[in-house]
Structure 1
C-alpha cells in the first residue's frame, strides 16, 4: 500500500510535467513518421522522373538515396528538438563537418556538380559519337563523377566531369544529317570545267546522299603542287562513314578513267660534283 500511495503522490505532484513529456514524445513520433513518409515519397517521385528522362541508373539510385537521407536527417533534427535536445549545437557541428568534408573533397564535389549539370542539360547521351577534350569516341557511360568514352581503336577513356564541362563538346550524332567535306587535289594541267563535271557526276551517283540539302563543288585553293577542289555533300548521320568512302572511291575511279592525275608532293635533289 505504501508503494501505491507514493506512486499516486508522485503522479499528483508531477502530473503536468509527465503530461508535457508525453505530448512532446508523441509529437516527436508523429514528426518521425511524417518525415519518413515524405522522404520515401520524394525519393520515389525523383526516381520515376529520372527514369522518364532516361538518366543513368547509377545517378538515379544516388539522387533518390541522397534525397531520402537528407530529408531523414532534417527529420531527426526536428525530432531531437521536440524532445528538448538543443539542436543548434548539433546543426553547428554538422555544418562544421560539412565544411571540412567539402574542403577535403573539393575536386570530387566539382566533378559531382558538373555531373549534375550534364544530366540536366544533356549535351550528349550514351551511344552518341562525340569529341570531348580532344578525345573522339562513343559515349559509354555518364557516371556521377566521370564520363567514359570508347575510342574507335577500343580504348575506354575516363574523363572527370569537371573537365568535360570546362571544354568544348562536339556532338556528331545529335542532328539527323551531317555534311561530308572533302578536299580533292588535281593536276594543274587538267581542265577545270571537266574536273567539275567529273566530281559532280561522282557525287550524284553515290547512293544515300541527301540531294535536297544541296551539293557544293568549287575551286578552293591554288596550292603548291595541285589545284584543290572542295566537295561538300549531305547525308544521313548513320550513313556518314560508308557514304564518305564511296564518294572517294567514285572520284578516284572517274579521275583515273579520264586520265586526270591527283598530284603528290615531290622533291628534286640536285647533286653537284
Structure 2
C-alpha cells in the first residue's frame, strides 16, 4: 500500500505554487500577445485588402497578397508567442527551414506553377474575360488561380492550364486590342472581270453594319496563281462581332459573286480562327 506523507504533499504543492507564481507573468503576457496579435492581424489584413481594392489592383493579386501577408504575420506571431513562453526558438526556426526545403524539393512542379501564376498576375498578358490561344487551346479565361488558369472553350468545355507552362509559352490574346481583322482570300477565274469583282467584294463589306469603317476594310489582288486570281478581303470588327463578320463575309461575298456571274474557284479560304 502506497504511503503518502502529508508533509511531502504540502512541500510539492508549495513548489508548484511558487513555480506558477514565478511563471505566471510570462504566461499571462504570452497569451495577451497572442490574443492581441490575432486581433491586430485580422485588422491589418482587412485594411490592406481595402487599400488594394481602392487602388484597383487585380482581384486575384489582391487575394493572393492578402493571404501571404496573413500567414506571414501568423507565423511571426507564433514564434513571438513561444519565445515569450521561454521556449528556445532557434531550433524551432531551423526545423521550419528544413521542412520548407523538403516541401520545396518535393513540389518543384507546383512551385513552377506558383511562380508562373505570380508572373501572369503581375505582368497581365491576359485578364479574366479575354479570349486567348495558348498550349494548343483557344478559350476564354474564366479564372486566374495561383497554380492554374481556368478557361472555357467555345463548346463549353472547361480547361485547366498549368501556370508554369502558360507563362513560359506563347500566348495569343485575341481580346487585348478590342478590334480584330479577318484575313480572307477569294479566288476567281481568270476569265472574270477583276475590277468588277473587287468592287462587289468591297461593297459587301461596306454594307455590313458590323464591319468597322475605321480602320477601313480592304480588298485587293493578293496573288496570281496558276488557276485563279486571288483577292485578299480584310474587314475589321469589334471582338464581340468578329465571328459574325467572319462568317457573313464568306456567305455574302459568295452570294454577291454568284449573282454577278463571277466564277468562284474552290480555293477560297479564311485565314483567321473564329473564336
Q: What is the TM-score normalised by the length of structure 2?
A: 0.79
Per mean C-alpha deviation after superposition, the further-off stretch among 88-97 and 207-216 is 207-216
**1:254-273 map, 5 Å:** 254-264=256-266
Verify the 8 A CA contact 2:58 2:121 in the aligned structure 1: no
Partner of 1:220: 222
Verify the 8 A CA contact 1:55 1:119 in the aligned structure 2: no
**1:92-103 map, 5 Å:** 92-103=94-105
Q: What is the TM-score normalised by the length of structure 1?
A: 0.80
Partner of 1:74: 76
Partner of 1:268: none
Alpha-carbon distance between aligned partners in 2 of 1:256 and 1:195, rounded to the nearest angstrom: 10
Q: Show CA shifts across 1:187-239 (max 9, x none).
A: 12222222221211111111122112122222111223221111222122211
**1:120-269 map, 5 Å:** 120-264=122-266
Per mean C-alpha deviation after superposition, the further-off stretch among 102-111 and 190-199 is 190-199
Verify the 8 A CA contact 2:237 2:245 in the aligned structure 1: yes
SS in 2 for 1:86: coil
Q: Show CA shifts across 1:94-138 (max 9, x none).
A: 000000001111111211222233223332233321111121012
Verify the 8 A CA contact 2:128 2:142 in the aligned structure 1: yes
Query: 1:186 Cα shift?
Result: 1.4
Verify the 8 A CA contact 2:149 2:160 in the aligned structure 1: yes
Verify the 8 A CA contact 2:150 2:160 in the aligned structure 1: yes
Alpha-carbon distance between aligned partners in 2 of 1:46 and 1:105, rounded to the nearest angstrom: 29
**Number of aligned positions between the proteins:** 254
Alpha-carbon distance between aligned partners in 2 of 1:230 and 1:242, rounded to the nearest angstrom: 18
Structure 2, gaps ≥5 residues long: 1-6, 268-275
Q: CA RMSD in A?
A: 3.1
Structure 1, gaps ≥5 residues long: 266-273
Residue 55 of structure 1, aligned match among 55, 59, 75: 59
**Would the alpha carbon gap of residues 89 and 138 (structure 1) be closer, same or farther in structure 2, given more than 3 Å must change?**
same
